[in-house]
Amino acid sequence: MKFFRFMFLTALVILSISASTIIVGVMYAYQFNDDENNLYYSELSYRLIEKQMERRMEMAAEHLFYSVDAIDLRNSITLSLVNQLDDSAFKTKMMNIAAAETMTGYYYELGGEDHINRVVGSYERVVIDRALGAFREDLTENVQMDIVKVESQNYLVFINQYHNYTDNASHFIVYYTPFENFANTGFLNDLTNGNGFLNIEIILDSAISDNAVSFRDGYIDITKDAYNVVYMPVTEVSDHWVMAVYMGKPRIISAINQKINMIIMTIIAGFFLFTFIFLLLSKKISKNLDDVVEQVDHIANGHYTNKIHLKGIYELEQLSNSINQMGDTIDAKISELSKKNAEMLRLMIEALDANDTYTKGHSERVAKLARKLGEAVGYEDIDQLVSAALLHDIGKITVPENILNKPGKLEKEEFEIIKQHTVVGKRILSQSSAFDNIDDLVLYHHERIDGKGYPEGLTGEKIPLGAKLIAICDVYDALTTARPYRGAMTHEAAMAIIIEGKGKQFSEKVVNAFMTLMF
């Protein structure tokens, strides 16, 4: 089957099912009422916030009075600290428990019924205006939570009263914090996270929008374009505080009637059906395309003989055949090119040996040494290094034979001609792209670390590493073979000269590696 026809039929099926699903859902929910939907959504959120607040307060009370630390503290009070309230360990335990629920202080009292009027610090024994807002309730049998007003400051207070049969007295433990501090830390974060609310803040009731309508003990405003707001009472004393919860507009209309359930079910069913069919139809294509990409990566990384076989879709079958053929062609061309390069190297070396019969075999010996030394120092491209070593003296083809084979010392002019063989070698090799990566190694293999070499007098790290390796192998072979002007040196004598040239003619790192290799 043609790929275009396959994709056309796939798209037709998917679009038909999707359109039918949407039409059924819209036709069923033919009545639109955004205001009712927003109001319904906000009322649900109001109830959710109430439940979240109740749960948050219960969790705080449980930690303050029923955690392992709290029970341990209560036992400590009963057993040893009744008359030692200034004990630092006692204070530390109390404050550790307080800090875990963002409480700012605590109060302990043995006996008495007016504990709520003796909070601590500068507010001791002042009259407290109790709040009667949504938060006030008995959380457990022995724990009361209240919002109180102390000198115009609203405080959230948790009180635990228990009877100690050891001393037959009532004990009170009170934890407190300014309500705004509690509300603007972990409490608001707990309400915001995971509920989809945009923002929550504590404000005065005077800031409530005039467009808000009453609901339960608070208000709901659905008149904003971008969001709805739920206002919930915090206190019902002077300077009333409310909690404003901002939430996004509902995206599904007509939520007030039960038809919304049908819309949601229809859309979800259509989505899963759409996804299921699409996955079934596209799975084969995706797998085939992955295979194609993997095969192209193999070819890009030099693995030309790997094969790929795709079936079922005409275009993909043709593509797989073409990729396989491309890999075979590239492999054949590279093999052919490698053979031609090898033949070219042999011809050039033979031409050099014919011109300088006294040093015949020198290039092969230097290449062998260079391979071993390159492997010892971890040279990146050993084949490139060996090729450069084989051709390092190719420029001597242009040097007259009487100079190459002169038995005595060369005149200055003759030595200048000899020195040109590196430049000539570079010029010869640069004529072919096959030698792009080795011509610089040939050019610089007579440079010295101290800058006294030729042709450019390079120093230190400016000399390519490959040229440094070839240089030391070239010198060693030249010293240990007979020349027209002298006999062959021993291995020890040659190594002594090389060691003497460390840091001057040769790189110290290369000399050290060469010594390890040769001793």
CA distances from residue 63 to 141, 179, 434 in whole angstroms, order as listed: 15, 18, 78
Contact 319, 360 (CB under 8 A): no
Residue 214 host element (H or E): strand 213-215
- Residues 371, 436: Cα–Cα separation, whole Å: 19
| Burial class of 104 by CB neighbour count within 10 A (0 to 12, 13 to 18, 19+) | middle
Q: Around Cβ 271, how many Cβ atoms within 10 Å?
A: 12
Q: Please report the DSSP string for 54-77 in residue order.
A: HHHHHHHHHHHHHSHHHHHHHHHI
Contact 184, 178 (CB under 8 A): no
Q: Please report where in the chains the tokens 């084979």 appear, as a residue.
A: 405
Contact 115, 159 (CB under 8 A): yes
Query: What per-residue confidence (pLDDT) applies to 71?
Result: 79
Query: What per-residue confidence (pLDDT) applies to 8?
Result: 54
CA distances from residue 190 to 196, 228, 248 in whole angstroms, order as listed: 12, 20, 18
* 3-state SS assignment for residue 504: coil
Contact 241, 203 (CB under 8 A): yes
Q: Around Cβ 364, how many Cβ atoms within 10 Å?
A: 15
Total residue count of the chain as it appears in this document: 519
- Residues 445, 440: Cα–Cα separation, whole Å: 8
- Residues 116, 112: Cα–Cα separation, whole Å: 10
Report which DSSP code applies to 324: H
Reference 503, options 511, 492, 493, 491; nearest CA is 511
| Predicted confidence pLDDT, tens digits, the chain (519 residues) | 554 456 556 766 776 677 667 656 655 554 456 777 777 778 888 888 777 777 777 788 888 888 888 877 777 766 655 455 556 777 788 888 888 877 887 766 655 444 444 443 433 333 344 433 334 444 555 677 777 766 667 777 887 777 666 666 667 788 888 877 766 665 666 666 656 678 877 788 888 888 998 888 788 998 888 888 988 887 655 557 788 888 887 765 444 445 655 665 676 676 667 666 766 666 667 677 777 777 777 777 766 677 777 776 676 777 777 878 887 788 778 777 767 766 776 777 777 666 666 566 888 899 999 999 999 999 999 989 999 998 898 888 888 888 877 888 888 999 999 999 999 999 988 887 778 789 999 999 999 999 999 999 999 999 999 999 999 999 999 999 887 777 899 999 999 999 999 999 999 999 999 999 987
Phi and psi dihedrals of 198, rounded to 5?
-80, -40
In sequence order, the 6+-apart residues with CB closer than 8 A to the CB of 373 are 469, 472, 473, 510, 513, 514, 517
Contact 277, 25 (CB under 8 A): no
Q: Please report where in the chains the tokens 């590493």 appear, as a residue.
A: 465
Query: What per-residue confidence (pLDDT) applies to 15?
Result: 64
Contact 212, 205 (CB under 8 A): no
- Residues 225, 249: Cα–Cα separation, whole Å: 8
Q: Around Cβ 424, how many Cβ atoms within 10 Å?
A: 17
Rounded to 5, what percent of the chain is helix, strand, coil? 55, 15, 30
Q: Please report where in the chains the tokens 């060369």 appear, as a residue.
A: 410
Query: What per-residue confidence (pLDDT) applies to 493?
Result: 94
Report which DSSP code applies to 51: H
- Residues 83, 85: Cα–Cα separation, whole Å: 6
Contact 464, 440 (CB under 8 A): yes
Backbone conformation region of residue 216, classed left if phi is above 0, alpha if psi is from -120 to 50, else beta: left
* 3-state SS assignment for residue 489: coil
Query: What per-residue confidence (pLDDT) applies to 128?
Result: 40
